[in-house]
Amino acid sequence: MSAVSTTTTLDERVVSATVGALELFGIYLGDRLGLYDALRRCGPSTPAELAGAAGINGRYAREWLEQQAVAGLLTVDDETAGAEARRYALPEAHVGVVADPLAPDHVLPLARMVVGIAPVLDEVAEAYRRGTGVPYARYGSEFRAGQGAINRPAFTSSLVEEWLPALGGAAERLAGGGRLADLGCGLGWSAMAVARAFPRADVVGIDGDAASIAEARAAAVQQGVAVRFECADAASLAAGEPFDVVLLLEALHDLARPVAVLSAARAALAADGALLVADEAVAPAFSAPGDEIERLMYGWSITHCLPAAMAEQPSAAIGTVLREDVVRALAHESGFGRVEVLDVDGGFFRLYALRP
């Protein structure tokens, strides 16, 4: 396919992207300052009322409310009223998107991820020049929180209600006291969801990022969930009894040495166990221009996933856009005998069952 056909079209697209980026920053401020929560709690509010409820300056409250209304995120009762008299509200249809962390349509964390990338773009540019990378930890707490939160709805509900039941006996084994390891567990939402759904199961979450593991441990204590979290690599999996299920959720494309990790997971599985992989639901093959999913995934790849993977050498340097044929090739190289694409709606994810 040809490139964008006219300069005007490209001009409009760049302006639209700029508007979108700035509106993401507005969403970030609404999250960071608790403004959406205040509107949800207090109902329709004037700038002064929002300022009082959220503990911010009144002039900033007015400007943010006006921007959010112009952007269509909030409603306003009377546009003709004076600037300080207008009342703004968060529509019920928008509550899940920006104010309910467990809602299926909760995409507010994308703003935190974009904000987290921005401070390290200079390092990313230097990595491009040198052929090096940017370690995951350099993206900081905002990206880490955003990544954990964007996956939390699916990892809290879909994982235990749909994905594990589709894995052919896995749910039954966990219900009976089976063992599950969550590789690349991040902030631990998936491991904690499994432990809540299957209280007799032995659940361990493993991640190489110390900050993520610290937050996961704190969250498990706060929620009273029995999960063991370890800051370790995949090689530690085979040290104990075999696992009935190993999870690798939105992590395979980030691995510098995916074959080593997959091989360790295979060695740790029981003979009739399964590795559940969730990775991006991208197109079967490269084509350009691509759809919005392809554009989104390549956007993450050029700014985060590839630089983070390149920080470890040698690196497979997969990038975010992990296609099905590559998953199958990696699984075969790692010694897995069967690879099945599960017939469930994974949203942004394609789900694979890898068996020894």
User: Domain boundary residue among 31, 65, 100?
Assistant: 100
Between CA 151 and CA 127 the distance in angstroms is: 28
- pLDDT of residue 192 exceeding 80, the answer is yes
Q: What percent of the chain shows pLDDT beyond 90?
A: 95
- When pLDDT is cut at 50, 70 and 90, the band that residue 3 belongs to is low
Mean pLDDT of 28-41: 98
In the chain, how many domains are there?
Answer: 2
Query: Do 210 and 234 reside in the same domain of the chain?
Result: yes
Q: Taking the model in full, what pTM does it have? A: 0.92
Partners of residue 76 on adjacent β-strands: 88
User: Domain boundary residue among 41, 71, 100?
Assistant: 100
Position 1 scores a pLDDT of 41
- pLDDT of residue 2 exceeding 50, the answer is no
CATH of the domain at 40: 1.10.10.10
Among 154, 104, 106, 98, smallest CA distance to 280 is for 154
- pLDDT of residue 8 exceeding 70, the answer is no
- pLDDT of residue 256 exceeding 50, the answer is yes
- pLDDT of residue 5 exceeding 70, the answer is no
Between CA 331 and CA 338 the distance in angstroms is: 8
Among 333, 300, 295, 299, smallest CA distance to 316 is for 333
34: how many CB neighbours lie within 10 A of its CB? 16
Residue 51: domain span: 7-100
Q: What is the pLDDT of residues 288-314, one digit of tens each?
A: 999 999 999 999 999 999 999 999 999
Mean pLDDT of 224-228: 94
Mean pLDDT of 239-248: 93
Query: Do 95 and 158 reside in the same domain of the chain?
Result: no
Q: Residue 106: inside a domain, yes or no? A: no
Among 35, 36, 40, 67, smallest CA distance to 51 is for 35
User: Domain boundary residue among 67, 100, 133?
Assistant: 100
